[in-house]
Structure 1
C-alpha cells in the first residue's frame, strides 16, 4: 500500500478540486435571465469552439463560465515571452514570475468577462446601488466572472502542485463533454450540415474515432532522441538523450485554430449576410466549405503547429541549459551550433507532423466539398487528438507516481 500512497493522495486532491470546479459551473449568475442569455451566446460560434477546449461553459452562464480560458491563454503568452526574452525572464524570482502569470490572467479574464456580459446584456435584470438610481448589474456581473476565473486559475495551480494531471485536469472534462456536440454540429456556423445520428453513422464514428485515437497515442509518444554526453556524471550512468517529440505542438493548434479562423466572419452580419465586396471576400476566404477557405485554414493550422511547437521546445533554452550544465550533443560544439542542430531536427519533425495535422483538420473539409456532413469530423478528430495528448501526459504522471517507490538507492 505504501507504493500507492502518493498516487492515491494526489488522486484524492484532484477529485476534490474537480468537484469544486464542476460545482462552480452549476451556480448561476445572479440577476440574469438564463434562457435569453443562452440564446444570445448560442449565435457566437467561436466562443463555443473556444469553450470546448478550455474548460469554459458559455452555454450556461455560471460562476465559472469563463473557466480556464484566461489562464490557458496566459500560460501560452508567458511561454512565448519566455521563448523570446529568456535572458530577462531567467533573472526574475519565482514570486515575480507568479505575479506576471496571474497579472496576464487577470487582464484576459477582464476582457473575456466583459465580452460575455456584453453579449448577454439584454438578459440582465436591473440592480441599483443601494440608495441610488445607478444600475450596477453590468459591472457587478463582470466582477463575479473575473473572480470565478481567478479562482479557477488558483485551482489549476493547486492541482499542478498537489494533484494529478497538472492544470489540464480541469480541461479534460470539458473536452470530453464537447466531443458529441462537435461530431453532430461541427463548427456550428450557418453553412454546417448536422450529422444525423443513426446506427450506421454512430458505428462509423466510433470505429473512426477508435482508430484515430490509437494513431494519436502512438504519434504523441513518438520522439527523436539526440544522444547527449554528460562529462560530470560517472561513465556508467552518463548515457542520456534530448527527446524531441514528433508532434511537438501536442495538438494545441486545434485548440485555437477554429476560433481564430472564424473571427473575421463576425465582421459580416450573420442574419443579413454579406452586402459589400469585402464581406463577400471574407465569407469566401474564411469558410470551411470553399477551396479558398480550406486553403486559409490549412495555413492557419501549419502556422500554429510551428508556433506552438517552437514555444514548447524552445531550442535556444535547450541549448543554453546544456551549455550551463557542461553537457553537449555528441559531435556538436556547445552554444549556437547546438541550437542550430536542435532547430534543424525541430523543423524536420514539424514538417512531418504537418501531414498529420492537415490529415485531421483539412482532410474532412476536402471530403466535405462532396459530402457536407464530413466537415464535422475535422472538429471531432481534432478533439480526439487534443484529448489523447492530455490523457497521455496524465498517464505518464500516474505511472511515475506509482513506480517511484519501487526503486531504492540504498539497501
Structure 2
C-alpha cells in the first residue's frame, strides 16, 4: 500500500505543490538590486494598501523582493476575464482553451505593469541611482521595474503550473503569506483607525474561543450547498438522483481578499494631496474607528459577496449548458426561465452568505467602536475564512484522489 501511494498521482501532485510553495518563499527573499532595503521597509510599512495587497496575494510586504507583487496580476486577470465572460460574447465562447489562456496572460502582464508602477513609485526615492540614463530614466530604476514585472509573471506561471500539475490550485501559494501576516494583523491592525493591541489574558481567552467558533462555522457553511434536482431524460439511472449543486459560499473567500483593498483605495489616493478637502473627508469617515467607515466596509463586503457569487456561477452559461444537454429543472422551462430561477436561488444563498460575512467581520468592527482592542479580530477572522476555504478545497481534492488508489481493477 505504501509503494502504491508513493507511485500515485496524488503523491506526485503533493510533491509538485510543495516545490512551488518553496520556490514562492525563496522568491520572496530575493531582494531587488540597487535598493536601500532598510528605508524601503519603512516606506512599505507606512502604506497599508500595499501591505494588505501583498499579504493577500502572496507578495512580500516587509521589503521589496522578486515576488513582492505576488499573485495580484494573476488574480485580477482571472476576475476580469470572468467578468468579460458574463457578457456572453459569441466570439469569446468559440475560442480555444489555449487562446483563453493567452488572453488571461496578456491581461496579467498589463495589470503587472500597472501594479509595479505603483510599487516602484512608492520606493523610487530609495533606489540607488547609477547615473546612467536610458530614455531619460535611470538604469537602476528600470532594472527594479522589470525585475518586479518579471517576478509577477513568474508567479503567474507558477500558479498555472500548480493548478495543472499540483493540488489545491493557485490559492495554495498564498497560504504562507497569509499565515505570516496574521500575527502582525492581530497586533497592529490594518491602519486607518485600527491601532496596536496589547493582548491580556482576558483578550487571549476571548480570541481563542472566537477563533474556534469562527473556524467551525466557516467549515460548516463552506460545505453547505443547495442541491436542485435535475430531470435527465437522456440518462437512465435507477441508483441515484441527479442534481445541480450550488454552494452557499458561491463567492468563496474572494470578498474578504478584496474588501480591505477596495476600502483603502480612497485613503491611498488622498495621500497624494494631503492638504486637500478630500483627504480630510477620507480621514474622518473612511476609517475603522468611524461608524460610517464600518458601514462602508460592510457595504463593500455585501456588494462583493453578490458580485463574486454571480461571477463564479455564471447562471446564464449554466442555463444554456443544461438546455444543450437536454437536462432541466422540474416545472421550469429550459432557457431564460431556468436562468431566472437559478438567479433567484443564487441570490437567496448569497444573502445567507453575506449575513454570515457580516456577523464574522462586522461584529468585531462594531464592538471595536467601543472596545478598540476588538477591531483587529475582524481582520484575523477574515484571514481564517480565506485559509479555511483554501485548505478545505485542497483537502477535498486530496481525498478524492486518495480514494482512487484504494480500488484495483478486477
TM above 0.5, yes or no, is yes
Partner residue of 2:258?
256
Residues 301-345 of structure 1, C-alpha deviation per residue, up to 9 Å, x if partnerless?
110000011111111111111111111112222111111111110
2:161 equivalent to 1:163: no
Tell me which of 96, 99, 105 is aligned to 1:96: 99
SS of aligned partner of 1:165: coil
Residues 334-390 of structure 1, C-alpha deviation per residue, up to 9 Å, x if partnerless?
111111111110111111112111112211111111101111111111111111111
C-alpha displacement at 1:202, in angstroms? Answer: 2.6
Tell me which of 59, 62, 74 is aligned to 1:59: 62
- Give yes or no for contact 1:229–1:238 (8 Å, CA) kept in 2: no
Distance 1:115 1:164 in 2: 32
SS of aligned partner of 1:84: coil
Residues 148-191 of structure 1, C-alpha deviation per residue, up to 9 Å, x if partnerless?
110111111111111111111101111111111111112123x3
Partner residue of 2:318?
318
Partner residue of 1:207?
209
**How many residue pairs are counted as aligned between the two chains?**
407
Residues 196-246 of structure 1, C-alpha deviation per residue, up to 9 Å, x if partnerless?
133432333222112110110001111100011222222325621111111
2:114 equivalent to 1:108: no
Alpha-carbon spacing, 1:380–1:132, altered in 2? closer, same or farther (3 Å)? closer
Tell me which of 242, 245, 267 is aligned to 2:244: 242
Distance 2:226 2:135 in 1: 66
C-alpha displacement at 1:251, in angstroms? Answer: 2.2
C-alpha displacement at 1:106, in angstroms? Answer: 0.3
SS of aligned partner of 2:141: helix
Distance 2:180 2:300 in 1: 26
Partner residue of 1:48?
51
SS of aligned partner of 1:181: helix
Partner residue of 2:383?
383
Runs of 4+ in 1 over 4 A off after TM superposition: 128-134, 272-275
C-alpha displacement at 1:31, in angstroms? Answer: 0.3
Structure 1 residue runs without a partner (length 5+): none
- Give yes or no for contact 1:261–1:300 (8 Å, CA) kept in 2: yes
Tell me which of 120, 137, 140 is aligned to 1:137: 140
Partner residue of 2:196?
194
2:333 equivalent to 1:330: no
Partner residue of 2:83?
80
RMSD: 2.1
Structure 2 residue runs without a partner (length 5+): none
2:281 equivalent to 1:281: yes
